[in-house]
Amino acid sequence: MTKKIDTHAHLGECCVFGLLSTEEEMLRRMDECEIDATIVQPYPGAKEAKKTHDQIADLCARHPGRFFGLASLSPHNETAVYEREVERCVKELNFVGVKLHTIGHGVNPLSEDGDRVFAAAHEFGVPAMVHTGPGVPFALPSLCIPAAKKYPGLNIILAHAGFAVFSAEAQVAASVCGNMFLETSWCIGEDIRWMINTIGAERVMMGADLPSNVPVEVAKYKALDLEPEVYDRVMGQTAIDVFNLRW
Ligand SMILES: [Zn+2]
C-alpha cells in the first residue's frame, strides 16, 4: 500500500505567527490520521533555525522513516552562512528540501535573496518549497514562474497552493511550468479536485501545516471520493517522487 505523507509540518516555536508545534502533538495526529511520514521544517519565526534543524534531525533519528527534514532559514543571512547551512542540512542531516518563506522571512521570490533559495536548492539537488497565499505581493504564486523557468531541473512546490484565495493563480502557474507542484493545505476541497483534474494527480500533494489541521486536510481528500490510484498519488506517491523519499 502506498504510504501516506504529510508534506508540510513545523517543529517548535514561531515568534512570527505565535505558534508552537510539539513532537508529541505531531505523532498523535499522525497516528490518529494514519499518516506514515511527515516532512518537518522549522517555523520561519524560529529563534535559531540551525538549532531547530538539529532538533528535526534528532526527531528523524528517533523515529526512523516517520519524519524527513526540510531546511528553512532566512536567505537574508550572509550568502556563505545561508549556503553552508543548507548544504549541512542536505548533505549531513539528509534533509529533503529547502523552504522559501515569502512572508515569514520577508522574501520576494524575484529578488536576489529569493534567488539564493532557488539556487541553493538547485545546487544541492533538492526541491524548493515556497509559501504562497497570505502575504501579497511576495506570496503570489505567479512570482515563482521566473525561477521555475530559470531552473528547469528544479522542482518547486507552491505551499498552500495559493491558500484558497489565489488557488486559481497557483493552478495557472503550475499549468505553464511542468516543474511546479501544488501542496494544498488550507485550500477548498473542490479547488483541490480542480487542481487534480487540470494539472494531474502527479503534481498535487497533501500537506497540513499544523498538527490540528491534519485531520481536516485528510478529511477533505477523503470527501472528494477520488479513484483509489488518484487518492494514493495525492496522499503519498507524488511526495515520495518529488522529494525522493526513501526508507
Ligand atoms: Zn507552514
pLDDT class of 24 with cuts at 50, 70, 90: very high
For residue 209, the CA-to-ligand 1 centroid distance in Å is 5
Q: Outline where the chain has alpha helix (H).
A: 23-32, 49-62, 79-87, 112-124, 145-150, 167-176, 189-199, 214-223, 228-232, 238-242
Domain boundaries, the chain: 5-242
Distance (angstroms) between ligand 1 centre and the Cα of 12 equals 12
| Neighbour tally for 209: CB within 10 Å | 22
Residue in the structure block whose three cell numbers are 531552473? 151
Give pLDDT tens digits for 207-222.
999 999 999 999 999 9
| Confidence class for position 1, pLDDT limits 50, 70, 90 | confident
What distance in angstroms lies between residue 176's CA and the mean position of ligand 1's atoms? 25
Tell me which CATH homologous superfamily contains domain 5-242: Metal-dependent hydrolases (3.20.20.140)
Q: What is the pLDDT of residue 187?
A: 98
CA–centroid distance, residue 9 to ligand 1 (Å): 6
Q: How close is the Cα of 49 to the center of ligand 1, in Å?
A: 14
The CA 25 to ligand 1 mean position distance, Å, reads 16
Mean pLDDT of 124-129: 98
- CA dist 135 and 203 (Å) reads 24
Residue 32 CA, ligand 1 centroid: distance in Å: 21
pTM beyond 0.75, yes or no? yes
pLDDT at 3 over 90: yes
pLDDT by residue (tens digit) across 45-101?
A: 999 999 999 999 999 999 999 999 999 999 999 999 999 999 999 999 999 999 999
Please, what is the average pLDDT of the chain?
Answer: 97
Q: What is the pLDDT of residue 2?
A: 94
Give first-to-last CA distance, the chain, whole Å: 14
45-64 b/e with 16+ CB inside 10 Å = b? Answer: bbeebbebbebbbebbeeee
